[in-house]
Amino acid sequence: MCPADVPPNPSPDLSDLPDVRTSPPPVVRGEPVELSDGVYVIPDGRVELVPNVGIVVGEHSALVIDTGMGPRNGAYVLEQARRLAGDRHLYLTVTHFHPEHGFGAQAFKGVATIVYNASQRAELHRKGASYVEMFRGLSAAAAAELEGVELVDPDLVYEGAAELDLGGRKAALRAVGPAHTGSDQVIVIDDRVLFGGDLIETRIFPIAPYFPPYDVDVNGPGWIGVLDDLIARDPEIVVPGHGEVADVTLIRDVRDYLDHVYGEVTRLRAAGVSADEAAARIDEEARARWATWERPEWIGFAARAFYAGAQH
């Protein structure tokens, strides 16, 4: 469990966040779908607060990527991993520390080797308890899934990059934050399949967790730079944090949106426009330009985050 002497930060105002109170319960459901030889995803079904969960099976080991939120989801993901992997050694990693991606890890403690990058562990210690409280406030269903949650430390910690040999299948873990969070991680399987976490979403406005002074680590230029690098690597299959599996075109789409927001913020700030007015203008234009995307509430968060970042 994370150290007890790490005090939680005050929770941010939730009034501007997407309203998920009437959404289906945030429960990982369904069976894994094979994307490539030995590489599976449990699709999110476009359910709020449910991630795409990866399971990668090699000859002697298997890797689970993300857990869902809370002990019940973690136990379900572990059950599906065991069904596919049998008695192979299990690894668990998460794309970033946010609750719906990593707060089911307690189900894996003692039965899998948990691997995080050093920044992930540090960010979990700083913010984990506060994010539990914030997510409990999103809906009664979210609070129910977080009942009994425990935040667990990794067994292995790496700096920069790490590689897991699963037996005939290679998983490359790379720390790429700050971007969406201060400690994002991407996982690439056999140079073909990319698990990008919330750096990438399908037809959902990218989530910018900008909650000053509680959490201001989202980094616009860093995020765009990460996506440029991922585009250059040209993965065949792209698994976003939320939404349908796609190809590298998805990364380009998200990158173009973020670059638009950053460019407009830079232009409007130089013209003396306030952060709130810039956010309002960008929100109106982005809703029209990306009209098929869901959760436009995140547009303003991204605009304000990038505006604040441009001041430094």
Residue-wise pLDDT for 223-251, tens only, equals 999 999 999 999 999 999 999 999 999 99
Segment (H or E) for 113 = strand 113-117
- The answer to whether 73 touches 28, Cβ cutoff 8 Å, is yes
Share of the chain above pLDDT 90, in %: 92
Which domains are present in the chain?
33-310 (3.60.15.10)
106 has pLDDT over 90: yes
> What's the average model confidence in pLDDT over 81-105?
98
pLDDT of residue 312: 52
Distance CA 20, CA 15 (A): 11
Tokens 């991606």 sit on residue? 101
What pLDDT is attached to residue 16? Answer: 82
List pLDDT tens digits, range 15-54.
788 999 999 999 999 999 999 999 999 999 999 999 999 9
| pLDDT, tens only, 124-152 | 999 999 999 999 999 999 999 999 999 99
Per-residue model confidence (pLDDT) at position 25: 96
Other CB atoms within 10 Å distance of the CB of residue 83: 11
Whose CA is closest to 263, among 219, 310, 205, 312? 310
Confidence of residue 214 (pLDDT cuts 50, 70, 90): confident
Q: For all residues of the chain together, what is the average pLDDT? A: 94
Q: Are the beta carbons of 68 and 76 closer than 8 angstroms?
A: yes
8 Å CB contact between 36 and 189: yes
Q: What is the largest CA-CA distance in the chain?
A: 62
Query: Which DSSP state fits 23?
Result: S
The sign one gets for the Cα dihedral 22, 69, 17, 253 is negative
Q: Are 30 and 42 in contact (CB under 8 A)?
A: yes
Dihedral, 82, 83, 85, 88 alpha carbons, nearest 10? 50
Residues with Cβ within 8 Å of 272's Cβ and at least 6 positions away in sequence, in order, are: none
Given the structure tokens 């638009």, which residue do they identify? 260
Local confidence band at 6 (pLDDT 50, 70, 90 cut-offs): very low
Q: Give mean pLDDT, residues 195-222.
A: 96
Mean pLDDT, range 196-222, rounded to an integer: 96
